Structure 1
Amino acid sequence: MNPIRIKAVCFDFDGIMFNTEDVFEEAGTELLAKRGHELTMEVRRGMTGRREEEAIAHLIEQLELSDTIAELRKEARETFLRLLEGRLAPMPGLFELLELIEGSGLPKGVATSSDRAYLRNLLGRYELASRFNSLMAAEDVDRGKPHPEIYLKSAAALKVDPAEMLVLEDSENGVNAASAAGAYAVAVPNRHTREHDFSRAHFIADGLGDRRIADLIDR
């Protein structure tokens, strides 16, 4: 038994709460095909978990694209939103886990590298925004993941020590950010992130319904 007592839970958003990483993959594949490139696992690994502008800058640098960040960002957003309609779905076990956390009386938050308008848009489709005590987005930090700033601010907003906050992350950048903040980082990979380096996570979960996550909350 781990002696840590969890007093708050913080979720990453894309790939943890919703299947948006599937849509990002389709959008990126379409975007790069127009430019004669493929969206490789290595390129995606460097982008996942980062703020939009930083992820696009990484893409341009890695593939030596001639687009500006602003141009590619605009096209990427339009492509993503077009593909998102009719495909958005919660990740398996999300609602059951939210109910467990709420039944335990623990505060919970979201800490995403995506912008606030996008976060509220998607949460609003499932009437979820009001169920969280804290919503941290790209605009709330000066430095994005893997820097720990967003998780330090989340812990402060949830009024707990970072070491008492359980963080659920699907990416290497996200886990590293949570770990650097001193939080209890748990990796919950999806098919896009299974090959990431999660050596800084306390453990790698088999989805949101993993009994080990429930045990941390129930303790």
Structure 2
Amino acid sequence: MSDHLPIQAVAFDLDGLMFNTEHVFFLSGDALLQRRGKTMTPDILRGMMGRRALEGFEHLSSHLEKPEDPHELWLESQEIFRSLLQEHLKPMKGLFELLDYLEELDIPKCVATSSPRPYLETLLVQFDLTHRFPISLTAEDVTHGKPHPEIYLTAAEKMSVTPERMLVLEDSETGTKSGVGAGAYVVSIPHEYSNYGDFSSARFIADSLTDARVLDLFSPQHS
């Protein structure tokens, strides 16, 4: 007997879930801090991960000897980030396979990210994914950023499903809490930069986007 209702839609986080941007972000954040005589630490990164840009850089600023304007820090970080993207950016394992699988089953999907829309569009264009995500939600589309559940409640509404019938795929503790708070079926897929988080509220922790347990959520015995 299944312990959940049939999954009817999927909401993807972006950074660290679809692409290895958390690795690039770590490199750019470390470069930013090194200019100020510091280095990126798990504590700093954890406080930034999954949040909207200004909220994340407010956290980074609090770790500086002399706090700086979060917006200025973000702008500087973006310059470094863009310079590293071409060399380091890669899709996460199983991304295209899972998208193919969902499209075969005609299951609606969306991206729900704390990142700004121009940034999302840049990544989707680079990997020719824009047409595969007709629905997307970004930092500009919500009043409250993750871990608030607003973005995933909105995602369910946009895809015309109830939250409990929507699978949320997340890599961070912040995003996991957001999905759980919305009442969605949340699967966490942490990586080396997020695996120290608390994922106890997720239904389970997967190894990759094509973990057999993720694919099994769409099999007939779960309907």
Report if aligned partners of 2:20, 2:91 keep a CA contact under 8 Å in 1. yes
Please say if residues 57 and 71 of structure 2, whose CA atoms lie closer than 8 Å, have aligned partners that are also in contact.
no
Shift of 1:38: 1.7
Aligned match of 2:56: 55
Residues 92-114 of structure 1 deviation map (CA, whole Å, 9 limit, x = unaligned): 10000001111111100000000
Would you identify which runs of 4 or more consecutive aligned residues in structure 1 move more than 4 Å?
Answer: none
Q: How many residues in Structure 1 have an aligned counterpart in Structure 2? A: 219
- Percent pairwise identity: 49
Give 1:42 deviation, angstroms. Answer: 1.1
Alignment of 1:59-70 (within 5 A): 59-70=60-71
1:62: Cα distance to partner?
3.3
**1:147 Cα deviation (Å)?**
0.3
The TM-score with structure 2 as length reference comes to 0.95
CA distance in 2, matches of 1:170, 1:133: 22
Aligned counterpart, 2:160: 159
Structure 1 residue 67: Cα displacement: 1.6
Structure 1 residue 64 displacement after superposition: 4.5
Contact kept? 2:29, 2:77, Cα under 8 Å: yes
Match for residue 88 of structure 2? 87
Change (3 A) 1:64 1:153: farther
Helix, strand or coil at the partner of 2:71? helix
The amino acid across from 2:6 in the alignment is R
TM-score (norm: length of structure 1): 0.97
Match of 2:13 in 1: 12
SS in 1 for 2:210: coil
* Counterparts of 1:138 and 1:81, CA distance in 2: 19
The CA deviation string for residues 7-62 of structure 1, in whole angstroms up to 9 with x for no partner, is: 00010000000011110010011110111112110111111000011000111123
Asked whether the equivalents of residues 104 and 218 of structure 1 are also in contact (C-alpha less than 8 Å), the reply is no
Structure-1 residue corresponding to 2:130: 129
Say whether 1:23 aligns with 2:36. Answer: no
Give distance in 1, aligned partners of 2:65 and 2:187.
Answer: 34
Partner of 1:46: 47
Q: Secondary structure, in 3 states, of the residue corresponding to 1:166?
A: strand
> Where in structure 1 are there 5+ consecutive unaligned residues?
none
Tell me, in whole angstroms, the C-alpha distance in 2 between the residues paired with 1:165 and 1:64: 43
* Mapped contact 1:172–1:198 kept (Cα < 8 A): yes
CA drift of 1:69 comes to: 1.4
Root mean square deviation of aligned Cα: 1.1
Equivalent residue, structure 2, for 1:148: 149
The CA distance in 2 between the partners of 1:189 and 1:117, in whole Å, is 25
Distance 2:56 2:94 in 1: 28
